[in-house]
Amino acid sequence: MKLRLLLILPLGMALLSSCHLSNPNAVAEKEIRDILYDLSRDFNWKNIGGIMQSVHPDYLHNGMYDNGLRELWLGRMALYDLLTIEVQFIDFSTDYATVHMRLVFESAAWELTLVEPGDSGDVSYFYYSNGSWKIHGNQLWGW
């Protein structure tokens, strides 16, 4: 019985470690998906502070700094009650990630669907800094 366990244990460990080999960004992808889930939850709860906690201090997106991002999302909160985020896939490049997703904003009177990063992209670009992923913007000064 102990011999079987000694044979099965390394095999199980190898199987578990091979999961990370097939997707080396699996942990990073989960962290980013969790941030986006939290963003939609904070939007639905009208918690702008919670959204802004996920934003990097050096945020810049098409000339917009983090204060502009805050105003943009406050405006969206004023128009829409619910946000659903559907992540399609995430592109990784060392410490940077671009999330391709659909944002669906809904209220009783309005609905807006953004296909990101193409439509706006304000929350599509992430940067890994100080042990965590943060929304970073595309770091461009204009369109």
Q: For residue 125, give the 3-state DSSP assignment.
A: strand
Q: What is the pLDDT of residues 59-98, one digit of tens each?
A: 999 999 999 999 999 999 999 999 999 999 999 999 999 9
Read off the pTM: 0.83
Amino acid 5: pLDDT = 40
Closest CA to 75 of 107, 99, 53: 107
Give the Cα separation of 36 and 66 in Å (integer).
Answer: 17
Amino acid 111: pLDDT = 97
Domains of the chain: 25-135 (3.10.450.50)
Can you list the residues of the chain whose pLDDT is less than 70?
1-22, 143
Q: For residue 128, give the 3-state DSSP assignment.
A: strand
